[in-house]
Amino acid sequence: MQDRDRRPNFVFVYTDDQRWDALGVVQREQGAKARFPWFRTPNLDRVAAEGVRFRNAFVVSALCAPSRAAFLTGRCNHRNGVANNHTPFPERSVTHATLLRAAGYATAYVGKWHMGNQRERPGFDYAASFVGQGRYHDCPFVVNGKDTPTTGWVDDVTTDYAVEYLRRQNRAGKPFSLVVGYKSSHGPWNPPQRAKDRFAGEVSRPVPNLDVNAVYRPEMRPGGYAAGNPDRAQMQRSYFRTLSAVDDNVGRLLKALDELGLAQNTVFVYSSDNGYYLGEHGLGDKRSAYEESIRVPLLVRWPGRVPRGGRTEDAMVLNVDLAPTLLEAAGVPVPREMQGRSLLPYLGGRGGARPRESFFYEYFYERGYPAIPTVFAVRTPDAKLVKYPGHDEWTELFDLKADPYETKNLYADPAQEPLRRRMLAAYDRAAKESDFRIPDYADRPGEEQQAVRPPAAARAREVLRFEAPLAPEEKDRIRDRSGLGNHGTIHGFVTNASGPPGNTSLVFAGGGYIEVPNSPSLNPAGGPWTVEVAIKPEKPDGVILARGGQSLGYALFLDGGAVCFAVNSGLGNPAVVRDGGPRVSAGADAPMVRVRAVITRDRRARLFVDGREVGSAPLSSFITGEPNDRMQIGADLQTTVVPYPKPDRFTGAIASVRLFSGEEPR
């Protein structure tokens, strides 16, 4: 039971890539205009019915890690230290968690964090979270710093940890702030078994902007996401199935709060880190400034203060508003540096809120995603101006009241000169109010490839070389001998053993692995790539090396003694090359085998075993972007590149690992 301290508790739940209209209550509200009228979220609808639903909630940058940092800090991304997905969250940051903890709150973070491959959760007393993107099934968690295997669907596991935390804190009688981050609905969408057949046969309705290309992607082919495309329809159903399974888990959280007697004094907030395109403007991601990308759901329930009745608010609110809202509700002073505004005036239904007249949107070019440029914009309640630095010809102006789907660019229309002047002034004013500047931690277009990608005709450049033995003073680190500093960290049981004459090997005991941080030199995007390993397997199955996941990346693995090379280029199903010859011997007396896997200049995946080509397959393209997940040797514990046979970890000896940026000839 709670003690006499009646300060409210907080539970903030957020998903990944959930569009603002991916709620059952919104689909019903839209009626004949609903694109997904078959989608149901009964538990989230309950939150809306018992609290406040903000119809116009937005993020200040529509990308996972930047938005998560904005939720935490109440500051825009040009000021909070995170402008892309590969930057860890600055550990000294002032956040709602650090300030609540200093004020006597217990703080906890469970589930998806996804700021780089950071293991720490700054500001939180308790953490049960996973690194990077994780994976949908049997995802390894890090629980208070300890690697912990789990079984089951990842968002169910996250909810298990969250419910157990609620039970412990109820016994402790101390006010708490719990953040729950769900992996859903990030692709590739893999719902739990109970949700795999939901919405069977349903297709989305068309909307006007399916046939209007993004101004920066004129080459895109509109219509690919239309109802008549069976692959896209299946993808959309999988997207919504993961969210419906999240709705199940929201029901579990609400039930736990009710049963523990915590609901009345707990502020329950639900949102998402950004929206997601499902074919609008020919797109299928986020990042840019169209409505489907920047607009998110936002529900707030506080039974002790918010009258029931399912009120809606139309004022523009932002993800940076979360931190000042929690702090003000707890009676903690809000730092002047926080740029958001408390939402408390909206919750009581008594007025007094100062409506936001505009906000500044920013997306900074991210390495590995060259197709999406830097985007800055201003949005007001009725219009939007979008700028693309270096491309004045792309500038867009939309009248959102007359054209909510953003199909007609008015910027060059002489009849719209008054609107253009008004929005240019609003843009300058919003940029000034947010103290906007391009931060030095933002990526610069092309810098990563200029540094490491050789010309097509040039010899490949070695970017990583691991060779045993480990120097004793290095303990859990293996040194990269390429000279580029791509050192690895050993996790679990990996030891030295005698190998070929004059060399030694690293022995993986079926549980150990080596992880290598992302770096510009290890980015395989945009050109040829070569991986060479020398292995002596003790078991016929296992992951030798993997980088990335089911969207972008590559992997070498064993399947029944056959060496396999998988490549996900980002433009469709993975290409998998399998050794069709004699199987690799496994066991203590097996010989050392040398494997070379190459993404060639002519866009093929080729696989060689002991110098003999054993298979090849065409690729739709080079890998189109930098994979989020780190490289792992001996395992693939994040978002897996392909489904692997069990056991999925490598058991045996690895004498060397070499990577080349380019096609290394042999």
Q: Tell me the Ramachandran region of residue 427: left when phi exceeds 0, alpha when psi lies from -120 to 50, beta otherwise.
A: alpha
Domains of the chain: 9-356 (3.40.720.10), 454-661 (2.60.120.200)
Q: CA angle, corner 567, sides to 461 and 604, nearest 5? A: 70
pTM here is 0.80
Average pLDDT over residues 249-260: 98
Q: What is the pLDDT of residue 123?
A: 95
Average pLDDT over residues 263-272: 97
pLDDT digits (tens, 9 = 90+) for 560-590: 889 999 998 875 568 899 988 777 777 767 7
pLDDT digits (tens, 9 = 90+) for 359-400: 999 999 998 788 899 999 999 999 999 999 999 999 999 999
Helices (H) and strands (E) in the chain, counts: 12, 33
Task: Give the pair of three-digit tokens for residue 203.
Answer: 């297709």
Which of 468, 616, 641 has the alpha carbon at shortest distance from 556?
641
Residues 295 and 19: beta-carbon distance below 8 Å: yes
Average pLDDT over residues 342-348: 91
Which of 294, 403, 393, 311 has the alpha carbon at shortest distance from 348?
311
* High-pLDDT (> 90) share of the chain, %: 69
The sign of the torsion formed by the CA atoms of 97, 98, 104, 108 equals positive
pLDDT digits (tens, 9 = 90+) for 483-528: 999 999 888 767 666 544 445 677 887 678 899 988 889 999 889 9
Query: Which residues, in sequence order, are bridge partners of residue 576?
Result: 566
Tell me the C-alpha distance between 133 and 232, whole Å. Answer: 23
End-to-end CA distance of the chain: 70
pLDDT digits (tens, 9 = 90+) for 134-191: 889 999 999 999 999 999 999 999 999 999 999 999 999 899 999 999 999 998 899 9
Strands (E), 291-439: 295-296, 298-301, 311-313, 317-318, 359-363, 375-379, 383-387, 396-399
pLDDT band at 350 (very low <50, low <70, confident <90, very high): low
Backbone angles phi, psi at 54, to 5 degrees: -90, 115
Average pLDDT over residues 189-195: 95
pLDDT band at 228 (very low <50, low <70, confident <90, very high): low
* High-pLDDT (> 70) share of the chain, %: 91
pLDDT band at 456 (very low <50, low <70, confident <90, very high): very low
Which of 55, 69, 56 has the alpha carbon at shortest distance from 14?
69
pLDDT digits (tens, 9 = 90+) for 604-645: 999 999 999 999 999 988 887 788 788 999 998 877 888 888
pLDDT digits (tens, 9 = 90+) for 99-131: 999 999 999 999 999 998 899 999 999 999 999
- pLDDT > 90? residue 10: yes
Average pLDDT over residues 647-656: 86
- Of 314 and 637, the structure prediction assigns the larger pLDDT to 314
Average pLDDT over the chain reads 90
Which of 434, 444, 464 has the alpha carbon at shortest distance from 389?
444
